[in-house]
Amino acid sequence: MAEIYDFTRRIKRIRNIRRSSQVFFLLLFIVLLYLAEFSFTSSGNPGEINPPSQWLNLFLYTDPLSGFATGISAWVLLSTLLLGLITMAGTIFFGRFFCGWVCPLGTLNHAMSSFKSERKSRKGKSLIDSNRYHRYQGWKYYILFGLIALAIAGSVQTGLFDPITIAARSFGMVIIPALNTAVNDMAAALSDSSFPIFRFFGAAIFKISSGTITYLKQPRFHGIFWLALIFLLILVANRLFTRFWCRGLCPLGAFLGILSRYSIFGLYKHTERCNDCDLCLLHCQGGDDPHGDIPHRRPECHLCLNCKAACPENALSFKFQPYLKQYNPRPDLTTRRTILAGIAGLAAFPVIRSGDKFINEPSFIRPPGSLIEEDFLKQCIRCGQCMKICPTNVLQPALLETGWEGIFSPVLMARIGYCEHYCTLCGEICPTGAIRKLKSEEKFGQTGPPPIKIGTAFFDKGRCLPWAFGTTCIVCEEWCPTSPKAIWLEDAEVIDRQGSKKIVRLPHVDIDKCTGCGACEYACPISGKPGVYITSAGETRDPNRSLLLGKRK
């Protein structure tokens, strides 16, 4: 009985340590995302904005796949992403510890997979069969090789599959805004109640949320359905296959799996103690065959240690073990498929690049400080941090506005918001330098060089109230933040239908002063298509988008 008690206590101790680590890092990830918000300094001066702490990007910085893909695509070595070397070093020592102990998406997949019943023998047998190694677990390596080949060609698409960026997009742009909406709606409903106690709780919720949420308005994101659907499918897939994303599709897991093949610590099986009970397979999260015909597949192990905790004979131990081929089988890949995956990645680049013709397309506008489009797509990992921190919600995830290559990358949608004149937070929070850091004075041209232009405003004279209907309206001029104002008014005499004369102030754009911030389009009172709109024509980052054809190189 004492041996059974000690065994049970050992199982609980090992699992509790790992679960505590998973919960801690998941909560830390959520808290850091939540704190990535816009806020003024204590003085409240609009020109004094609290710069975001670099610790808010901790998980993105420790993601070695993002750093590696960005480095080989743009041929730059970002100091912030060097923290990924710590993850790589830990993997070489201990194996894929990041997947089993740190990764927030891995934790959610683990939790969803753990909902399966393990006590009923019928389902227990299906779990044992499911948790054996399957050939689909090699898919993630082919995805990794294709993405690396695409990055070498000059386009970073790892962010579409990387678990850290998927989790950052999903929490920052789907879950947290949805919770904010639910809380605000609940508070509004309680405040309108006829019962005093409900009104009290509604007022309390409003007070708490207004003290903790620093957005100027509730954030809402374009294409949120697709972001939510992808996240939901990843989680639901665990009901069919244990940690399906981690086992079969995750390129970061494949990247770490290649490194973990050479780890100096790992699981060792004492075959003389094994009684073939299969309890290790019943609890296995990685599908690494701790009890398979081939010795333990170290590249697939998530280091959850469930097998060690579940083994009644203590036949599995985690210990120092130098590289031995017989105990470290390589990923089950074929040379032909590996080459085909690389070729597919290289072939995808000219297809998406030539088909989209993004270079001269003025319909989308990038954030201020963005690199030239070719370089931007070499470094943007679609993490959504710039959109999450934007105070006016003007930055939105692109769907097909920028073509397939730029899906989920940030673009301005001026009918939703506008680029705050003093704000440079998108460049401060960007983890890869796709949006470079700007000072406020540099952004609006107080340091000598011209201001940063992200586009130019144009009037639609068929919809603008003064131009089309002779109606007085100066909203765009009032909202224009530049000094002197880029929108100026001209007094003009017009004759109405009754033949009466009146003076109307007609708005014009000074293209040398306009920065393309979109405040005029945002504030335009005309519903639907506005009377003034902005395009990327004239942006300073790319000479090919100069306003006049004669200035293009």
Report the pLDDT value the prediction gives residue 551, as an integer from 0 to 100. Answer: 52
Q: Which residues of the chain have pLDDT under 50?
A: 1-2, 4-5, 42-44, 117-122, 211-216
Q: Which two tokens stand for residue 226?
A: 């697709």
Task: For 435, list phi and psi in degrees, rounded to 5.
Answer: -115, 110
pLDDT at 456: 92
Secondary structure of residue 505 in the 3-state scheme: strand
Instruction: Please answer whether residues 431 and 60 qualify as being in contact, where contact means their C-beta atoms are separated by less than 8 angstroms.
Output: yes
The rounded radius of gyration (Å) of the Cα atoms in the chain is: 28
Is residue 98 within 8 Å of 255, Cβ to Cβ? Answer: no
Residue 484, preceding peptide bond in cis (omega within 30° of 0)? yes
Q: What is the pLDDT of residue 229?
A: 92
The pLDDT, as a whole number, for residue 10 is 63
Q: What is the pLDDT of residue 249?
A: 92
| CA angle 144–306–304, rounded 5-degree value | 35
pLDDT in tens, 314-328: 777 777 765 555 555
Identify the pLDDT of residue 65: 92
Domains of the chain plus CATH, in order, are: 2-170+228-327 (no CATH), 444-553 (3.30.70.20)
From the list 161, 208, 162, the residue with the least C-alpha distance to 183 is 208
Alpha helices, DSSP H, located in 95-138: 97, 104-113, 121-130
CA atoms of 294 and 317, how far apart (whole Å): 17
Which token pair is 29?
A: 């990830």
pLDDT score recorded for residue 29: 93
Query: pLDDT digit string (tens) for 78-136?
Result: 777 788 899 999 998 888 899 989 999 999 999 888 765 444 444 567 777 778 888 88
User: What is the pLDDT at residue 348?
Assistant: 85
Residues in the chain: 553
pLDDT tens track for 23-80: 999 999 998 888 877 655 544 455 556 677 778 888 999 999 988 999 898 887 777 7
pLDDT at 215: 41
Dihedral angle, C-alpha 61, 65, 68, 74, nearest 10 °: -80
Three-point CA angle 428, 432, 433, nearest 5°: 60
| Six-digit token string for 303 | 């280091």
Phi, psi of 502 (to 5 degrees): -150, 160
Helix, strand, or coil (residue 506)? strand
